[in-house]
Amino acid sequence: MNNVDNGSSPVASYFKYWGKAKKDEGAKGPDYHLLAYHSLDVAACGWLLMSEEYPWAKQIADQLGISVEQLRRLFVLFLCLHDIGKFARSFQGLAPGLSDQLVPQIPGLSYQERHDSLGFWLWRDSTSFQDLFAELFNLDRKQVKRLRQLDTWFEMVTGHHGQPPKFPGNVRLLDHFDQTDITAAIDYSEEILKWWLQAEDLTAFQDTALNKKLKQHSWCLAGLAVLADWLGSNQHYFAYSDHVVSLTQYWDEQALPAARRALNHARLDRRAVEGFDSIKQLFPFICISSDQI
């Protein structure tokens, strides 16, 4: 990946976008966290949530009829793309002036739609996005549009705030994105797809029966995406970084170690089921008077 700022190579376009911005000006560290890095933070949490340490991957893979390895890889691939709506200049304008290394605000592009829906619309309406999949799978754009399973995956991961994204109506992407934003999103997505996508995945994407099963389990997978995003957004574990390194280096040296710490602290491991004794047993911090029982 030629995306390292070593003084001679140009910095990749997707490193000009923030994903998290500092809310407390007095807090230590950079003023923002690069969008690509936040995306990998969340994906790293998803990678671990789908490991053999937890039951979800095997249970869902068995019900879908695919391997655990393929499910885990596809889940992480699309988690890497869960926030592509933040490439919209309307979103970037929410925190203008963070750095001259970032894209500038564009007057007139106001943030009127949430970034989750913007990300889904980008996939659905950007011919450049569809051409990217077409090129990797040696298909034409119309064939890619017929891969409805891609819609299902994008709908699941862009709905990472607890509700599905809106479906596009009479939406113009350029009311929210500058053309350079779309190019940056495509550049980033190309890196991710080349990293995680495998030739066997085309067969899975073409399987209409699998898509039906995937839709049946979409709420469970969407819930895991919400959990991964919640964990990966914790600045206590995922410190903000504005220093450009390759995506793979950030994944190995920052995202995965931080994700392990976050999940260890979350204590999502299996627990023995205890019998119900009282409300006080379940919620010891609640004070209940005798007249409320």
Q: What pLDDT does residue 3 have?
A: 43
pLDDT interval class at 4 (50, 70, 90): very low
The reply to whether 152 falls in a domain is yes
Residue 149 — pLDDT band, cuts 50, 70, 90?
very high
Note whether residue 91 is domain-resident: yes
List the beta bridge partners of residue 32. Answer: 21
Tokens, residue 113: 């739609």
Q: Taking the CB of residue 226, how many other CB atoms lie within 10 A of it?
A: 18
Q: Give the Cα-Cα-Cα angle 95, 98, 104 (nearest 5 degrees).
A: 75
Domain span at residue 120?
14-292
- State residue 211's pLDDT score: 94
- The domain tally of the chain equals 1
Q: Residue 43: give its domain's CATH number.
A: 1.10.3210.30
Q: At what angle do helices 208-216 and 56-64 cross, to 10 degrees?
A: 140
The region of weakest confidence among 1-15, 177-191, 196-210, 256-270 is 1-15
Q: What is the pLDDT of residues 215-234, one digit of tens each?
A: 999 999 999 999 999 999 99
Q: State yes or no: pLDDT of 46 exceeds 90.
A: yes
**What pTM value is reported for the model?**
0.88
Rounded to the nearest 10°, the torsion over CA 22, 48, 83, 242 is 40
Residue 175 maps to a domain? yes
Nearest residue to 197 via CA among 124, 147, 244, 243: 147
**Assigned domain for 4 exists:** no
